[in-house]
Amino acid sequence: MKILNKNINYLIFLISLVFLTSCGSRVERLSSPLLTLSKQEPALSGSGQFLALIVDQNGRPTVQLRNLRSGKILPLRSLSRNQPHSSPSLSWNGRYLAVITQRFNRRQAIIKDRLTGRTFQLPIPGERVPIRLSLASDASQLAMQFSHKGKWKIEIFDISKNIEPDLPSGMRVSTPVQELNR
């Protein structure tokens, strides 16, 4: 009986070892053009197909969007100015990109609709300065971090009145994904 117990324990140990070694993580590093020195603030789309990040372009922190499936860097023409950029955030299919930019010495939050090409400015109530953004995966809500009386505060805003939802494919209303891969 003791020998049987010992064998069962040995078997459990072997199975655990196989399980632990088989569920290791696979790491990929983003290839970088020679002039890009620094990559920061990664933000994945809900689908995992797109990655927004802040890259150093001639000393100016600039938002960049990559299609992880094709490996291509996608154009964001209207976001080539108003640096420094920070805190990018993407919706489920990468249709919407929220990011903080700088204009006339003032930090401002914007949302770029990659399907229509429109850029929306977010009028922030009061004299508050946005520090970080997070877009809900369906783009119906936006969470914003502010500095307020020496403390960090987070507020959630409903933006669904002006923004079409960006839902995973298969849902009733969804973004034509092929349009976003260009």
Partner 1 sequence: MILRYFLNSRLLPIISLLLIGCSRIELKPIYKFNNILSQSNESLREPNLGKRWLAALVNNKGKERIELIDLRSRRIVFLPGINRSDAQPISVSVSANGEIIAFIRQREDKTELLVYRRNLGTIRRIEITPKGIPRRVSLDGSGKLLAVQVSRKGRWDVDLIRL
- Chain contacts with partner 1 (rule: CB under 8 A): 25-30, 32, 37-48, 51, 53, 68, 78, 92, 104, 110-111, 117-125, 131-138, 140-145, 151-159, 161-163, 168
Least separation, in Å, of the C-beta of 42 and partner 1?
4
C-alpha distances in angstroms, 83 versus 106, 110, 113?
Answer: 11, 13, 19
Minimum CB distance to partner 1 smaller for 125 or for 170: 125
Cα separation of 173 and 178, whole Å? 15
Which CB sits closer to partner 1, 1 or 71? 71
Beta carbon nearer to partner 1, 7 or 169:
169
Cα dihedral sign for 29, 34, 40, 46? negative
Question: Closest approach of Cβ 60 to partner 1, in Å?
Answer: 15
Rounded CA-CA distance 37/34 in Å is 7
